[in-house]
Each structure stands twice: as structure tokens, then as C-alpha cells.
Amino acid sequence: MALSEISPSYAGSRVLPPNDLSSRPINPLLAFKNRRPSLPCSARRIPRILCSVSPNQVQAPALSATPAGAASKRECFGVFCTTYDLKAADKTKSWKGLINIAVSGAAGMISNHLLFKLASGEVFGPDQPIALKLLGSDRSFQALEGVAMELEDSLYPLLREVSIGTDPYEVFQDAEWALLIGAKPRGPGMERAGLLDINGQIYAKQGKALNDVASRNVKVIVVGNPCNTNALICLKNAPNIPAKNFHALTRLDENRAKCQLALKAGVFYDKVSNMTIWGNHSTTQVPDFLNAKINGMPVTEVITDIKWLKEEFTERVQKRGGVLIQKWGRSSAASTAVSIVDGIRSLVTPTPEGDWFSSGVYSTGNPYGIAEDIVFSMPCRSKGDGDYELAKDVIFDDYLRERIKKTEAELLAEKRCVAHLTGEGNAYCDLPEDTMLPGEQ
Ligand code: LMR
């Protein structure tokens, strides 16, 4: 597996015996900063922030006089190089076992919101220590170091390890969660087919890496757009991981739909439940007002303006990302991070009785008559074990069926367009003309 070379920032950090401690610089970050520029990013090796379960409690800082290039077992970042006894912490704090969370696009805006939520315990719980494995690109490597520094400065008790790197085969090692955010945005003049191909290549590679090195039960949430088809590519390239473990993030769309319904009905948004987003995270997505409820009543009984529901509400949700880009000048980041948190929490906590949540999941075996073998957003329920079942108590009318057909056709077209990346022969791109990401209008 190809690793980048050792970085002087982390070079040869090692566990120093206690009588060496006086020789270390006082501020590990300062030393890190001062030494950083001497090797290019591409020559860096993955630095690790390690925790040790060794019982002898050696306290070692992030610094070392070991020359660059001398590989050590413990290249690490600042304070995280301290070796500590997690088992002892387990005893006093009744913590659960450490879980490994990989995040791609880790130097980006979404991650910058997400990582601190993960580290604080608000996602996996206050008794769940975590290891963060951050994947970036050569171009973003310095920013990734900055992210690691901020995590370090935040003194999160539950954050026990951090590693950063540019090789998915290294970063995804033993990952139990993979939050795949990194993707190239569609640039001026780029065809959607081109975007599907460029990002598809990334997700094919990451799927292969997950297949080779991640936990066999890794849960994967694909955020990078076009997320449904990226998730399909990813799962097709990871045949040894259950297809059911792959999700495309449509929780942001669910949250947007809940907000719009709550605004119209004049209620707080926690009163809106059973909100399904069907299909693609694109402007063909279907926010389902037929099955959604407000205060436990069908939305159509609370909001009787069906024209508004079919037109304004639907379009507002479909195009919310684009309107936001017009205002912000960039894609949603904080609300996307929040929706990733919501999506994970929906999988690790039992779904409230009668309710469900939306996620883009593998469609094979679905009870709704939706085409098989695509990643399609549907209503899910979880027992809180990381897994989900599709909700069965769902009703359809002609309008809903017709809308679902449209988003299904779009996803089938996207699938044909990436056949070369899913192992299904030659790609053939006949994408509907109006196919757009929420942010593309
Ligand atoms: C969003 O829904 O906010 C984003 O997916 C928009 C985009 O195209 O980046």
C-alpha cells in the first residue's frame, strides 16, 4: 500500500523514556510548525495520533529528535502522541470500546463543522471514545494539519486518536464508520457526465479501499455529490461489505422539508414527522407530503393548500441548496454537517415509535416497486444498532408515483453513465436534460 513519506512535522516521534522528557521542547505544536515546511506534502507519511492500551502509562510528547525519514512506529501529532491507558479510563468512566471513524474531504467546510461534533460526543454519545481518521488530498494536506491542530486544542476527552493522510487504503484501515464527504464540485463548463465520471473515480477507489481494509461491517455515508450514484459506485467496488451498509445523504433534504412544512403550518419543526424524501439528491427528489405528519395528523389535513404542497413546497425543497449557494456563494456546510449527525444518530438510536427517517439506500428488495440496484432515498427505521429496515406502512397516490418515476428514471440514467465504474460494461450517458444537483440551478 502506497504511503506518503514521512513528514518532518511528525518524523520519528517516539515514546521517550521518562528521563528524556526534559529534552523536549515545551510546545509541541510550535515545534511541529517550525519543522513543517522542509518536505513537500507528497513526501509526507501519515501522522498518527495514537492511544495505547499499554498498562505502563508512559507519557510521551509529540516531539522527537529522530531525523526525517527515520520511520518510527509512533509518528504523531502534538499532544495526541501522549501514550495513555485507555483501559484505565474505561474503568473509571464506563466508556465503551473505541470506534474508528474515517472522514474524507476532512479539510473542507462540511468536515470543519462535523469533526468537532463527532469529537464532542454529541453524535455517538458521551461514553463513546472515538478515533478520527482524516483523509485529504496532497493539495489540502496543510489544511488537514490545521484541522488536527484545532482538534488538539479543543481538549475533547472522548477524542483518543487522530490520524491524517492522503491514501484511503491507509486511512480507512479498520474504519467502522466512513463519512465520505470529499468530492470535486462541478466547475464552469463541466458536463454532469464529466462530474459523474470524475467523482465516480474517487468513489470507486474509496470503495475498493473500504473493501480491502475497513471493518467488515463498516457503515458508509456518502455526502459528496452526486451522492446517490457515488454511493452506488462505492458499494459496487466493495463487494465484501453488505450493500445495505451504504447510504447517500438525503437527510439534509428531509430537514429542509420539515422546516418548510413547519413554517407553513405555524408549528415548531419537531412536530413534523414521517418525512420521506424519495429518490435522488437532485432537483428531481420527491419530498413526500402525502405520508408526512404534523402533530401526528396527515400534512394534507393540516395544510389543505394542495397546490402549495405540489408546487411551492416541493420546488423549495428541491432547490434549497441552489438558493443557499446564491446567498452564501458556496454550498451548504453547517446544515449538511448537522444532517450527517442526524443521519448517524438515526442509525445508532432507536427510531421513535411510528416515525421514520430518510436515507439513500440500496434499492434491491424494496417493497415499493422501485427499480432494483440503484441507491434511492426511502423511509427507514432503525433499532439503534446501526442497521435499518424500510418502512412498510407507506401510502401512494398517482401524483407521488409519477414523481417517484421521474427521479427513478434519472438515477437509472446516472447508473448507465457510470457503468464503467460499477463493473457493468460500457458507459452510455443519456442523462435527462434537467438533471441537476440542488445547487446547480
Ligand atoms: C445541497 O443540497 O446543499 C448541496 O448538495 C448543493 C450542491 O449542489 O452542492
Average pLDDT for consecutive 10-residue bins of the chain (441 residues)?
Answer: 28 27 27 29 38 32 33 50 66 83 98 98 96 96 96 95 95 98 80 86 98 98 97 98 98 98 97 98 96 98 98 97 87 96 98 98 98 98 98 98 97 96 92 67 57
* 247 Cβ contact partners less than 8 Å away, ≥ 6 residues apart: 219, 220, 221, 222, 231, 343, 359, 360, 361
The Cα-based distances of 419 to 11, 249, 427 in angstroms read: 43, 22, 5
Specify whether the CB–CB gap between 102 and 221 falls below 8 A: no
**CA–CA separation, 86 and 53 (whole Å):** 5
**What pLDDT does 325 receive?**
86
Ligand 1 environment, Cβ below 6 A: 225, 252, 321, 324, 331-332, 437-440
Q: How far is the CA of 362 from the centre of ligand 1 (A)?
A: 21
* 396 Cβ contact partners less than 8 Å away, ≥ 6 residues apart: 290, 368, 404
Smallest CA separation from ligand 1 atom 8, residue:
439
**What pLDDT does 14 receive?**
24
Strands (E), 43-137: 48-49, 99-104, 130-135
Nearest atom (ligand 1) to Cα of 321? 3
Picking from 321, 332, 2, 4, the residue whose alpha carbon sits closest to that of residue 140 is 4
Peptide bond before residue 226 is cis, with ω within 30 degrees of 0: yes
Nearest atom (ligand 1) to Cα of 185? 9
Q: Which H or E element spans position 118? A: helix 109-120
Q: How many residues does the chain have?
A: 441
Report residue 266 as a C-alpha cell.
405555524
**CA–CA separation, 244 and 22 (whole Å):** 53
Report phi then psi at 299, rounded to 5: -55, -40
**CA–CA separation, 274 and 68 (whole Å):** 56
Q: Which H or E element spans position 359? A: strand 357-362
**CA–CA separation, 303 and 263 (whole Å):** 11
**What pLDDT does 211 receive?**
98
Angle between helices 334-348 and 251-265 (to 10 degrees): 100
Say whether 281 is catalytic: yes
Q: Residue 75 pairs with which residues in a beta bridge?
A: none
Nearest atom (ligand 1) to Cα of 225? 5
Smallest CA separation from ligand 1 atom 1, residue:
321
| Identity of the amino acid at 265 | A
Smallest CA separation from ligand 1 atom 2, residue:
321
**CA–CA separation, 300 and 287 (whole Å):** 13
Q: How far is the CA of 250 from the centre of ligand 1 (A)?
A: 10
**What pLDDT does 88 receive?**
67
**What pLDDT does 50 receive?**
40
